[in-house]
Amino acid sequence: MTEGAIGIDIGGTTTAIGIIDKSGEVLAERVIDTARHGDIEKFIAEIESRIDEEFRELEKKNIKPAIKGIGIGAPNGNYYKGTIEYAPNLTFKGVVPFVELMKKKFAYETIVLTNDANAAAIGEMIYGGAKHMKNFIVITLGTGLGSGLVVNGELVYGHDGFAGELGHVTVVRGGRMCPTGRRGSLETYASATGIKRTVFELLADSIEDSELRDISFNQLTSKMIYEAAVKGDPIALQAFDVTAKYLGEALADTVMHTSPEAIFLFGGLASAGDMIIKPTKEYMERDLLKIFQNKVQILPSKLEGAKAAFLGASALVWKEISN
Amino acid sequence: MTEGAIGIDIGGTTTAIGIIDKSGEVLAERVIDTARHGDIEKFIAEIESRIDEEFRELEKKNIKPAIKGIGIGAPNGNYYKGTIEYAPNLTFKGVVPFVELMKKKFAYETIVLTNDANAAAIGEMIYGGAKHMKNFIVITLGTGLGSGLVVNGELVYGHDGFAGELGHVTVVRGGRMCPTGRRGSLETYASATGIKRTVFELLADSIEDSELRDISFNQLTSKMIYEAAVKGDPIALQAFDVTAKYLGEALADTVMHTSPEAIFLFGGLASAGDMIIKPTKEYMERDLLKIFQNKVQILPSKLEGAKAAFLGASALVWKEISN
């Protein structure tokens, strides 16, 4: 009988739920609206009914995986406590005892939760480009910047389960406002939102023509910036360079903490490929101490786009069982 | 029979060699001049003869410890390779295969080397204030700034053995020159040398009277700055505040990497106690993301001054054997 795990990726907008076999093959998947319910009990009830649906679908195909547990990736997810705490982009406020609530619905022994970037790192380790690595980092470039640090083959959770918040290191003293009330944190520069803010700063500062001058802040997406850059738009090109500079410089500091073999970029902005990876690497190298130079790879995540998030979450189960 | 280990701390000026029993009691100790020989073979020959001396001294007292190995802390020491690489303050140039050379002289199975700050961290874990901690950091504030990071109860060596170079994260873009040829790294602000440079910057900028106006750069020590600060000297007081600001802000970024339970300050400047610890903590807290606030202690190292370094080095042996 095939062994499998359920992976749940909770995002601000949507939540993806997959049943994945141990080799990483997605057997069934559903996407639900995270915000629709507001109420956490109703949200979990919908997760439960969608998982039931998935099992019925598999049964029809005569696939009956032996499910070993549920892995959950969520913003501000705490591995030790199984809680989601004060996640600014979720409608569930305060401290949500998510694993505890799930255990009331599901009898699996292993139900484990961590933040979404940590789940991505575990996914990279089990199914992606970090299969043979003991020391690496995954950076997720979405609305914000998340990170999962792996040291000696283990995820770094820290003493409280919250380690790996690289999006909040300060890169510009008194710099851009962050939703956390602080200023100048990395994610206000290096993320899908950050590059938008950079475009608007450049449009204000420069007098160069750009197709981005016709797009409002709310309309603009990092994909549009990428497409403009590919066509040679000077503002878009410069925006990628500025983003890479902040990211590369911050990653140099990070390398001097944990000296990883590779740093994987994951998520929307990372799909710009060499447009972001090449200059990020150059800026990083420029700042590194000699003993670290030309050693650390910056690579695109090898997890497949839409499925990557719940694949990572499901991988948490195998990691947990092996510990 | 008492079990023991030999601890060797190699510094730019002196090298301390101790025989320590497993409980951390120093049975014998010697200090030699590191720079005197220049030649690495002669240096190791002197280490050997001093260790012989120590054993003869112990024999007279009828103490015959069962020595389990040798632990060595050295600047730019590489744990994986057992080498000292391009250490700027040592007369031994290039890559020195220190463990290999020691193995020619000593038959112990365990001869292990790491950088001095990592040795201090292992010492803190085995004999100091971090006995029950799994996630902590030791910062050594000497001529430069060194660091040892512990995650999940293990020292972070990174993929290449060089992790934990927090002295070289950039805190001021285009800031003070560093002996590495880079600019603005943390240790040019937060170290015994850094606080001297800050005093001179303040003496140049301000018109306030200060007893430090009578002392040359080469004469000035961090101890003098501390003593002036205790007497209320305004420049000295301000210099501690500036030093704490850079250190605290950098430590906030570090906390967002590994979320340690405590950060221990070790070495000359750390002996200023609350004069440096209190403001460092305040500046760190101001920069932390809410989920990290009021959780991370900043503490003075609990290892006893002069013996701390080789005590940490000897502790490497026990850590190695337990792995």
In this predicted model, what pLDDT tens digit does every residue of A255-271 receive, in sequence order? 999 999 999 999 889 98
Of B271 and B102, the structure prediction assigns the larger pLDDT to B102
Q: What pLDDT is recorded for position B310?
A: 87
Structure tokens at B155: 């020292």
CATH number of A156's domain:
3.30.420.40
Q: Could you give the CA distance from residue A81 to residue A74 in angstroms, rounded to a whole number?
A: 13
Structural domain containing residue A51: 3-128+305-322
DSSP for B21-65, written as a single string: ETTS-EEEEEEEESTTT-SHHHHHHHHHHHHHHHHHHHHHTT---
Q: Quickly list H helices, A68-165.
A: 98-105, 116-127
- Could you report how far apart the first and last alpha carbons of chain A are, in Å? 23
The distance of B53 to chain A (nearest Cα, Å) reads 37
Cβ burial, residue A175 (10 Å; 0-12/13-18/19+): middle
Distance from CA of B179 to the nearest CA of A (A): 11
Cα B311 to Cα B303: distance, rounded to the nearest angstrom:
8
Residue among B85, B156, B290 whose CB faces A258 most closely: B156
- B253 contacts A170? CB cut-off 8 A: yes
Residue B130 resides in a domain? no
Question: Does B291 lie at the interface with A, CB-CB under 8 angstroms?
Answer: yes
d(CA A160, CA B288): 14
Provide, as residue numbers in chain A, all residues whose Cβ is less than 8 Å from the Cβ of B188. none
pLDDT digits (tens, 9 = 90+) for B167-185: 999 999 999 999 888 999 9
Q: Does residue A142 have a pLDDT over 90?
A: no
Min Cα–Cα distance to chain A from B259, Å? 5
Q: Name the residue of chain A whose CA is nearest to B285's CA.
A: A182
Give contacts of B135 with chain A, Cβ < 8 Å: 158-159, 163
Are B152 and A152 within 8 A, CB to CB? yes
Q: What is the pTM of this model?
A: 0.93
pLDDT given for residue B92 in this prediction: 86
> Running DSSP on this structure, what letter comes out for residue A159?
T
The closest CB to that of B163, out of A170, A252, A257, belongs to A257
What is the pLDDT of chain A when averaged over all its residues?
94
B68/chain A closest Cα distance in angstroms? 26
Chain A: give the shortest CA distance to residue B296, in Å: 9
Report the residue from A133, A159, A182 with minimal CB separation from B135. A159
**Binary contact (B254, A257; C-beta < 8 A):** yes
pLDDT for B267:
87
Among A230-239, B72-81, B251-260, name the one with the lowest average pLDDT.
B72-81
Residue B211 and residue B179 in one domain: yes
Res. A23: pLDDT tops 80: yes
Phi, psi (5° rounding) for residue A96? Answer: -100, 115
Nearest to B319 by CA among B105, B206, B143, B157: B157
How many residues appear in chain B?
Answer: 323
| Strand ranges of the sheet holding B297-300, from the earlier edge strand across to the other edge | B154-155, B145-151, B136-141, B262-266, B297-300
Coil, helix or strand for B179?
coil
DSSP A176-215: SB-TTS-BSBGGGTSSHHHHHHHHHHHHHH-----GGGGS
pLDDT at A36: 81
User: Which residues of chain B does A289 touch, with a Cβ-Cβ cutoff of 8 Å?
Assistant: 165, 168, 180, 182
Burial class (CB in 10 A: 0-12, 13-18, 19+), B165: buried
CA B306 to chain CA centroid, nearest Å: 12
Among B79, B150, B169, B187, the residue to mutate for chain A (most A Cβ within 10 A): B169
Residues in A closer than 8 angstroms to B88, CB to CB, are none
B150 to chain A: closest CA residue: A158
Q: Which two tokens stand for residue B113?
A: 């080397």
Q: At residue A49, does pLDDT exceed 90?
A: yes
* Model pLDDT for residues B55-84, shown as the tens digit of each residue: 999 999 999 999 999 999 998 899 999 999
B38: left (phi over 0), alpha (psi -120 to 50) or beta: left
Same domain, A214 and A317: no
Residue A287: its chain B contacts at CB < 8 A? 170, 182
- For A95, the closest chain B residue by CA position comes to B291
Look at residue B251 and tell me if it is in a domain: yes
Residue B84 and residue B207 in one domain: no
Whether B286 contacts chain A with CB within 8 A: no
B144 plus B178 within the same structural domain: yes
Are the beta carbons of B168 and A249 separated by less than 8 Å? no
Asked whether residue B68 is domain-assigned, the answer is yes
In this structure, are A35 and A164 located in the same domain?
no
Which of A161, A180, A258 comes nearest B289 by C-beta? A180
Please check whether residue A134 is in contact with residue A156, taking contact to mean a CB–CB distance below 8 angstroms. Answer: no
Question: Domain total for chain B?
Answer: 2
Determine the average pLDDT of the residues in A296-310: 86
Q: Domain for residue B125, yes or no? A: no
Give yes or no for residue B244 having a pLDDT over 90.
yes
Which of A157, A257, A283, A295 is the mutation pick for testing B, counting most B CBs within 10 A? A257
Of the listed ranges B10-14, B34-38, B58-62, B216-220, the least confidently predicted one is B34-38
A286 CB within 8 Å of a chain B CB: no
Asked if B293 has any chain A CB less than 8 Å from its own CB, the reply is no
Average pLDDT over residues B297-307: 86
Partners of A254 on chain B (C-beta within 8 Å) are 257
Contacts of B256 in chain A (CB under 8 A): 163-166, 168-169
Residue given tokens 């609350």 in the structure block = B274
Same structural domain for residues A163 and A66? no
ipTM of the complex, rounded to two decimals:
0.92
Same domain, B54 and B160: no
Nearest to A261 among B76, B156, B159 (CB): B159
Q: Which tokens in the block code for residue B132?
A: 């029950």
Q: Chain B within 8 Å of A85 (Cβ-Cβ)?
A: yes
How deeply is A213 buried, as exposed, middle or buried, from its count of CB atoms within 10 A (0-12, 13-18, 19+)?
Answer: exposed
Instruction: Report if residue B129 sits inside a domain.
Output: no
pLDDT at residue B98, as a whole number: 96
Q: Are residues A87 and A175 in the same domain?
A: no
Check CB contact of B166 with chain A, cutoff 8 Å. Answer: yes
- In whole angstroms, what is the distance from residue B43 CA to residue B54 CA? 17
Residues A275 and A180 in one domain: yes
- Which residue among A133, A152, A253 sits closest to B169, beta carbon to beta carbon? A253
Residue A121, chain B, CB below 8 Å: the answer is no
Nearest residue in chain B measured CA to CA from A255: B163
Q: Which of residues 132-151 of B touch A (CB under 8 A)?
A: 133-135, 149, 151
Both B149 and B266 in one domain: the answer is yes
| CB hemisphere CA count around B187 (13 angstroms) | 19
Q: What is the mean pLDDT of chain B?
A: 94
**Residue A165, class by beta-carbon neighbours within 10 Å (0-12 exposed, 13-18 middle, 19+ buried)?**
buried
Q: Which residue of A has its CA nearest to B160?
A: A259
B269/B310 same-domain check? no
B84 in the same domain as B156: no
Find the mean pLDDT for residues B119-144.
94
Q: CB distance B253–A157 less than 8 Å?
A: no
Higher local confidence (pLDDT), A147 or A2? A147
Of the listed ranges A86-100, A232-246, B57-71, the least confidently predicted one is A86-100
How many Å lie between the alpha carbon of B213 and the closest alpha carbon of chain A? 31
Task: Indicate whether B143 pLDDT > 90.
Answer: no
